[in-house]
Structure formats: structure tokens, C-alpha cells
Amino acid sequence: MKPKDPILVKDLFDSVSTRYDFLNDLLSLGMHRLWKKQLLKWLQPSKGEKWLDLCCGTGDLSLHLARLVYPGGSTIGVDFSGSQIFLAKKRAHVEPSLSISWLVRDALNTSLPSESFDGVVMAYGLRNLANAEDGLKEIYRLLKSGSKAGILDFNHAKEGSKTSIFQRIYLRNVVVPIASIMGLGDEYAYIEESIKCFPYGSLQETIATKVGFNQAKYKLLAGGQMGALILTK
């Protein structure tokens, strides 16, 4: 699959939706939960605030955020895959006291009001967007002045580095074979291709500064396998 083609990306996430959470847990040995928690620790959402989770998938981060901003706060989860949002809504049903709404929309063009959020998160979404800079511009537009955003994703490690070699071996020899057993080999082979096209952490910082953010700091996680871009408007 050609990375960043929005129609193919949407079809991919529609097709994997029912197996997505299970595979995520299996393939990361549950570690993605820790990385998401760490992201929120860096961002420090507070009670009463309004947060946005872009490319929310089945709503992992949206649910965490909604718990952290409760009471008085609210969270919106946005994803362009109707199947992922359907599952997110189902998960949220068991916690009716939380204030979460779900929107099937493009993260590049949310049509949400400018400067209306105390914080924005995006996990494993930026790498999939047709244009990462446009994604950062939309996040910038949506944030209130002085507020924070956090973007978690695979780290594009320097080609030939130990981190990059380990990443490739893991993706080719663990992720794709396991996903293949569930009939999703091609879909997960896409991860390696998408990482190759993803800006390095230092370039993400540069793009974010160009877009207008006051501060942009790229932090490594999981021995450099993952990275988080922490932004302040």
C-alpha cells in the first residue's frame, strides 16, 4: 500500500478495526498503554479542561483524557474511520459519567472552532496523514494560546543505527508474521513503509516551529523505538 493515500489509509483502518486493539496489545506486549500514559504525564491535563484526541481510533487516549479532566472537563475523539469510531463509542458506553463526544472527520480539516482546546493529543496518527505539516497546522489552529499538544508515534531512527535495525527486524519478523496469522500481513507491512516516509524527530521539531509553536521538543521512548513530540503554542 502507498503510504499516506487517505482513501487507502481509511480503508485499512476500517478493515482492521475489530482486531486492532487485540493486535496492538499483542504486538507491543501491552507497552503502548505505558507510552500513552507517559505522553499524558508529560502533558498534565487538568480537571475541567477541554481536550481533543485526533486520529483517536478506538478511543484509548480519549478515555484516559476524559477520566483526567473529570469532573467538569470534556474530550472529543476524532477519526475518519467510521468503524473505529463505532468501537470507541461502544467502549465509552461503560463509563457514562465521562464527557466524551466522537466525530467522524478528517484530522486535517476538523471544522472545529479555532483556539477552543486546552490540549490536543495524537497517537500513531501523524505518520498516516497525507501531510504531517498540515496536521501540525490544524493542531496549532485548534489550541488555545499557551496550551500543549503531544504526538506519539514510531520514531524514524537514523538509517543503519542499531535502533533502526532492531525496529526493522521486529517489524519484519514479529509484527508482520503475527498479523499474517490474522490475515492482516499486508496491512501491517505498511508500518515499515510509513516509518520510512515519516520525518525524523529533529525535523518534526523544525516543522512545528515553522508552523508557529513556541516550543517543540522531541522525546524518545522505548529505547528510541517510539517518540513523542511535545508542543507548546
Binding site for ligand SAM (CB under 6 A): 6, 9-10, 13, 55-57, 60-61, 79-81, 84, 106-108, 123-125, 128-129
Shortest approach of ligand SAM to residue 79 CB, angstroms? 4
Of the pair 108, 222, the CB lying nearest ligand SAM is at: 108
* Nearest Cα to Cα of residue 43 among 207, 215, 210: 215
As measured in angstroms, the least distance from the Cβ of 74 to ligand SAM is 18
Which positions ≥6 away from 172 have C-beta within 8 Å? 192
In angstroms, give the least distance from the CB of 85 to ligand SAM.
8
- Closest residue to ligand SAM, judged by C-beta, is 57
Residue whose CB is less far from ligand SAM, 22 or 48: 22
User: Residue 191: which of 18, 24, 19 has the closest Cα?
Assistant: 24
Residue (106 or 133) nearer to ligand SAM, CB: 106
Q: Give, rounded to a whole angstrom, the gap between the first and last alpha carbons of the chain.
A: 35
Distances (CA, A) of 63 to 67, 94, 99, 112, 210: 6, 11, 9, 20, 31
**Minimum gap (Å) between residue 208 Cβ and ligand SAM:** 18
Q: Are strands 74-79 and 215-221 parallel, antiparallel or unpaired?
A: unpaired
Which is nearer to ligand SAM, 74 or 128 (by Cβ)?
128
User: Cβ closer to ligand SAM: 56 or 195?
Assistant: 56
Q: State the nearest-atom distance from the C-beta of 193 to ligand SAM, in Å.
A: 14
Question: What does DSSP say about strands 143-154 and 100-104: parallel, antiparallel, or unpaired?
Answer: unpaired
Q: Whole-angstrom Cα distance, residue 18 to residue 20?
A: 6
In Å, the largest CA–CA distance within the chain is 49
Identify which of residues 72 and 167 has a Cβ nearer to ligand SAM in the complex.
Answer: 167
Encode 63-79 in three state secondary structure: HHHHHHHCCCCEEEEEE
For the bound state, the minimum distance from the C-beta of residue 12 to ligand SAM, rounded and expressed in Å, comes to 8
